[in-house]
Structures are given as C-alpha cells and as structure tokens.
Structure 1
Amino acid sequence: MEDLNTTRVRQHKMVLTDRGICNITGVCDVLSFDVAEVLLETEQGMLMIKGSDLHVSRLMLDKGEVDVDGKIDSLTYSENTGYGGKGESLFSRLFK
C-alpha cells in the first residue's frame, strides 16, 4: 500500500527558446506575475524572470509546470530556505 504522507520532489527543468518562450517544470507556486516580472517558487529555490510583455501562457501547478512567453531579459535564482522567519516578508528578503 502506498504511503500518502510522502512528498514527491519534482525535477526542476527549464527550457528557454530564443529568449521568448520559457518552459519550466518543478514549480511549486507562482507568487506574482505581471508584464515585467514573474516570481516562481521552484524545487531549486525562488526564480525571478524579468523582461517585457511577459505572459504566463500555461499554468499547471498540479503537475508543477509553467510556460512564460515574452521578451526574457534575465533569470535569477535565490534560495528559498529561511523565508517566513524574523518577521520579514519574502519580498523584503528577496530585494535586499
């Protein structure tokens, strides 16, 4: 019988095509997005995607998959350990 309490870690993979289409797996949550920035929580840490005309074209959190379209200028990772403590918000820690 399967143990339902085990958490399955998804493989994190990113495919960037012509700086315009980014297919990402291993996504735990989408924290925010707008036309200039997408902030994702992944299995490997926080991922910030910056650019212009960004759109989340496909979102399947049950499978941990996200597709982002637009002009992608940068991809930045930060560690996701330690958030939620010391009374600081995620954004204040991320933008120090």
Structure 2
Amino acid sequence: MERYNYESSMDKVMKTPEHDVVMKGRKSLEITGVKQVESFDNEEFLLQTTMGYLAIRGHHLKMKNLNVEQGHVSIEGRIFDLVYLENQDGDKTKGFFGKLFK
C-alpha cells in the first residue's frame, strides 16, 4: 500500500501564493497573490499576479493599500472591467487596449 505524504504536498501548496480578487459593489477591490505593480494611474492598473497579468480599468482609481511582502493590493474607485492578459511577446510597454485587442 502506497502512503500519501501529506506534509510534502502541503509544502507545495504553501509555496504558491493564493490569488483572490474580491470586488465590493464595483467600488473597491481586494487582490491577493500580487507579485508586482507594473503601472497605475487613475484609469488603469496593471498588476503581475501569480495567475498572470491583471488589468483593471475604471475611473478615479486609487491605491488604498499595498503590501508587497504579502502580495496584497487594495484599489478604490469606479471599476469598469478586470482582464487577465496573455503576455505572448514579453512587451509590457503597450497600453491596456493594445494588449486587449492584439
């Protein structure tokens, strides 16, 4: 009978930070699993997460909390959309619409 090594499988799970996105009333976002904030202004945020690049578009967006060590970002404002981007050519300098309509 083969034994299941519970501890080693839990170690693998703990090494990958969990990525969650919680939106409250299109006015605030709580995001975990953020590796890096690539760019942001009052209309667009581009975050590198453990699940890929996440673009957030809206109006009057502002960062309320940033904890790089824990990978946590809080954003407030009027949120229009959230899009995960596929980075096929490695070019992070394109704007939101350039990546979206590639």
The Cα offsets for residues 52-72 of structure 1, whole Å up to 9 and x where unpaired, read as 000011000100000000000
Answer yes or no: is 1:11 the counterpart of 2:18.
Answer: yes
Maintained 8 Å contact 1:44/1:79: no
The alpha-carbon deviation at position 78 of structure 1 amounts to: 1.5
The alpha-carbon deviation at position 83 of structure 1 amounts to: 5.0
Q: Cα gap change, 1:83/1:43 in structure 2, threshold over 3 Å: closer, same or farther?
A: farther
The corresponding residue for 1:91 is 93
Number of residue equivalences:
86
CA–CA distance in structure 1, aligned partners of residues 99 and 16 of structure 2: 23
Higher helix share: 2
The corresponding residue for 1:38 is 45
Percentage of pairs with the same residue: 36
CA–CA distance in structure 2, aligned partners of residues 64 and 83 of structure 1: 25
* Correspondence for 2:62 among 45, 51, 55: 55
The alpha-carbon deviation at position 79 of structure 1 amounts to: 2.9
Higher strand share: 1
* Superposition RMSD in Å: 2.1
Maintained 8 Å contact 1:20/1:69: yes
TM-score by length of 1: 0.80
Structure 1 gaps, min length 5: 1-5
The corresponding residue for 1:68 is 75
